[in-house]
Amino acid sequence: MTESERPAMPLATGVEVIAQVVATLPGSPGVYRMLNSKGDALYVGKAKSLKKRVVAYTRPDRLPLRLQRMIAETASMEVVTTRTEVEALLLESNLIKTLGPRYNILLKDDKSFPHILVTNDHDWPQVLKHRGARNRKGEYFGPFASAGAVNQTLAALQRAFLLRSCSDSVFASRTRPCLLFQIKRCSAPCVERIPRDEYLALVEEARAFLSGQSRRVQHDLTARMEAAAEAMEYETAAVFRDRIRALARIQAHQDINSAEVEEADVVALHQAGDGVCIQVFFFRSGCNYGNRAYFPVHTQGEEAPEIMAAFLGQFYADKTPPREILLSLEPAEAGIVAQALSERAGRKVALSVPKRGDRKRLLEHALDNARDALGRRMAESGAQRKLLEGVAEVFGLDSVPERIEVYDNSHIQGSDAVGAMIVAGPDGLMKSAYRKFNIRSTELTPGDDFGMMREVLTRRFARAQKEDPDRDRGLWPDLALIDGGRGQLNAALGVLEELGIDDVMLVGIAKGPDRNAGRERFFLPGKEPVSLEMRHPVLYFLQRLRDEAHRFAIGTHRARRSKGLVQSTLDALPGIGPKRKKALLHHFGSARAVAEAGLPDLESVEGISRAMAKKIHDYFHPEG
């Protein structure tokens, strides 16, 4: 049900609820929440004076239509007083991020940023990618805009400084160098191929490089390369040459850098029509660690300074702000926002709108990116909306679908069977809503596709009935596509009938004769199959959705099958429990390598006795 279709409560009722609360409010700072009849948050706001701020909602004729709808839905309010307006802003940002109220400007972002961690809780420090809480001792460098940016930097760091990336348990169990040593990405400290003092020197060089002292590190390496070459130690000189090239490779990925900016986030906002894009570039230690685009929702009718303030509050609600934030425009209540960010960081955070120099150049670059990203998104959204309108026309839907779900199964002769669900909407594929289903039933005949589809749909819609019975959380599809023909469709219809669901449109999509793509037939309940012209845009759209569901199902099946192969091979070994299995995998790297190992190699594994090694060897080599 869309927002416009919800039954409206009388505006006067909401005004009366708010007026009763206003009578008890103090003139101190705090945060207020508007709640609907179910207790869900409609809006979260903060105020320097609660009474003066909230009383404005009792005069709805002066407010925009969006807020009038909010007032009409308000059934109760909750209020929390704070000591200062800064505390109120911090609490407001946390509550908005946690509750996601429908009438607040919302930053749709559930991903933390990856960092590079150089540990210091081990005699031989490691360098690794880290995401989440910083609960391990060591130095954290970042944030990086994406895992890809971290992986590229880590690969180059391994070539440049030869630091280990393996876990402590793997490090402790190794008896010979791993593949990374062979390809010159690790100095093999696990088997002491490098003295500890030399390894720690490499660690310090890596820390210096990540801390922004890249020029000094490169200068030192160049001097050592030249000295080795003069001494005719050409192999040593070649090692330094490769390390210098690796460092250059890191810097080549930095796109743009600035000698003037040591630690800052560059935040640029572009607004056009009803759309907003905010680009954030991350600069640390003078290096550009990438950028990410954000598209806040519920921004219609809002001014850019208000959107910027809301973004900053929510963006840094669970992140430590840098020392400086460069902005394309001044946010609303900039002084309060700066104080709140400083309190969150535990030090001063400066907000500025650069007017000249390198900082202005960086901001213009970010603004260009925001403008381009919003243009692409609006074009894609427009095209997507036309396709959804075409789907509604082809299948005779009452309205344009906001959520389409596509289902597929994957198995090999019934083994490791999985079901998959992908979701698409006005903004394209909604990958966070994808779901996979491991087929649990032991009563199904191997390869029973109808039975698997029944299990998947039963679990999916039974859960929807439990978690979203009123269908106001966006968990129900307007259209469900089933990969298959009439038989699959009838199986799906049977599930919905058993669950008492009669308002979800189901369509089966099957390939035509000889399984030719482009000659698909669509099976609708109680109707003859429908076919579309070969080049019909809706046909191409539905093919892409079906293929995406197939890709997701196949990938899920392969992952489960690979896991099963490893487990079944070693689990079948007599006398091998979890501890010994873990030791074997750590030592050899895979179940296949265990099976191919010779008796002496098996005996060298910690926890594997001579007798146990022979038992394992005989299991995999019964002929010998």
**pLDDT, tens digit (0-9, with 9 covering 90-100), for 362-388:** 999 999 999 998 888 887 788 888 999
Q: Are 32 and 77 in contact (CB under 8 A)?
A: yes
Q: What is the CATH number of the domain that holds 546?
A: 3.30.420.340
What one-letter code names the amino acid at 270? Answer: H
Q: Are 318 and 134 in contact (CB under 8 A)?
A: no
Q: Say whether both 156 and 231 belong to one domain.
A: yes
Q: Residue 106 domain-assigned? A: no
Edge-to-edge strand order for the sheet containing 30-35?
Answer: 41-47, 30-35, 76-81
**Domain total for the chain?**
5
Q: Are 510 and 520 in contact (CB under 8 A)?
A: yes
Low-confidence ranges of the chain (pLDDT < 50): 1-8, 253-255
Q: CB 181: neighbour CB atoms within 10 A?
A: 20
Strands 324-327 and 263-272: parallel
User: pLDDT value at position 58?
Assistant: 93
d(CA 272, CA 473): 28
Q: Where are the alpha helices (DSSP H) in 189-260?
A: 196-210, 214-230, 234-252
Dig out the tokens for 454 from the structure.
């029944």
Q: Residue 391 domain-assigned? A: no
Q: Are 89 and 50 in contact (CB under 8 A)?
A: no
User: pLDDT value at position 307?
Assistant: 95
What are residue 263's DSSP bridge partners? 284
The average confidence (pLDDT) of the chain is 84
Q: Say whether both 178 and 218 belong to one domain.
A: yes
Q: Residue 204 domain-assigned? A: yes
Residue 437 has φ and ψ, to the nearest 5°, of: -130, 110
CA neighbor of 463 nearest in space, from 408, 421, 526: 421
Instruction: Identify the domain containing residue 609 by its residue range.
Output: 572-620
Q: Are 90 and 31 in contact (CB under 8 A)?
A: no
User: pLDDT value at position 493?
Assistant: 93
Q: Tell me the pTM.
A: 0.68
Q: Say whether both 410 and 537 belong to one domain.
A: yes
User: pLDDT value at position 253?
Assistant: 46
Q: Are 246 and 183 in contact (CB under 8 A)?
A: no
Dig out the tokens for 192 from the structure.
């002491």
Strands 435-438 and 428-429: unpaired
Read off the DSSP letter of residue 164.
Answer: B
Dig out the tokens for 493 from the structure.
């219809």
CA neighbor of 35 nearest in space, from 71, 64, 2, 63: 71
Q: What residues have CB less than 8 Å from 491, skipping those under 6 apart? A: 450, 451, 453, 454, 457
Q: Say whether both 543 and 581 belong to one domain.
A: no
User: pLDDT value at position 416?
Assistant: 66
Dig out the tokens for 477 from the structure.
């599809």
- 188 in helix, strand or coil? coil
User: What Cα–Cα distance (Å) separates residue 188 from each residue in 154, 179, 294?
Assistant: 17, 10, 42
Question: What pLDDT digit, counting tens, does each position of 129-161 carry?
Answer: 888 878 889 888 888 887 777 887 787 778 778
The span from the first CA to the last CA of the chain, in angstroms, equals 69
Q: Residue 396 domain-assigned? A: no
Task: Examine the fold and report which residue of 99, 128, 163 is the final residue of a domain before the chain moves on.
Answer: 99
Q: Say whether both 91 and 182 belong to one domain.
A: no
Q: Say whether both 553 and 580 belong to one domain.
A: no
CA neighbor of 113 nearest in space, from 85, 150, 88: 150
Q: Say whether both 39 and 159 belong to one domain.
A: no
Q: Say whether both 86 and 17 belong to one domain.
A: yes
Q: Say whether both 290 and 361 belong to one domain.
A: yes
Q: Residue 387 domain-assigned? A: no
Residue 128 has φ and ψ, to the nearest 5°, of: -155, 165
Read off the DSSP letter of residue 113.
Answer: P
Q: Are 199 and 187 in contact (CB under 8 A)?
A: yes
Q: Say whether both 582 and 542 belong to one domain.
A: no
Q: Residue 384 domain-assigned? A: no
Q: Say whether both 421 and 534 belong to one domain.
A: yes
User: pLDDT value at position 179?
Assistant: 86
Q: What residues have CB less than 8 Å from 372, skipping those under 6 apart? A: none
Q: Are 384 and 391 in contact (CB under 8 A)?
A: no
User: pLDDT value at position 1?
Assistant: 44
Sign of CA dihedral 72, 77, 81, 86: negative
Q: Say whether both 267 and 238 belong to one domain.
A: no
d(CA 198, CA 108): 46
d(CA 181, CA 384): 49
d(CA 404, CA 602): 53
Task: Examine the fold and report which residue of 231, 252, 273 is the final residue of a domain before the chain moves on.
Answer: 252
Q: Are 44 and 53 in contact (CB under 8 A)?
A: no
Q: Residue 84 domain-assigned? A: yes
Q: Residue 66 domain-assigned? A: yes
d(CA 237, CA 448): 64
Q: Are 527 and 508 in contact (CB under 8 A)?
A: no
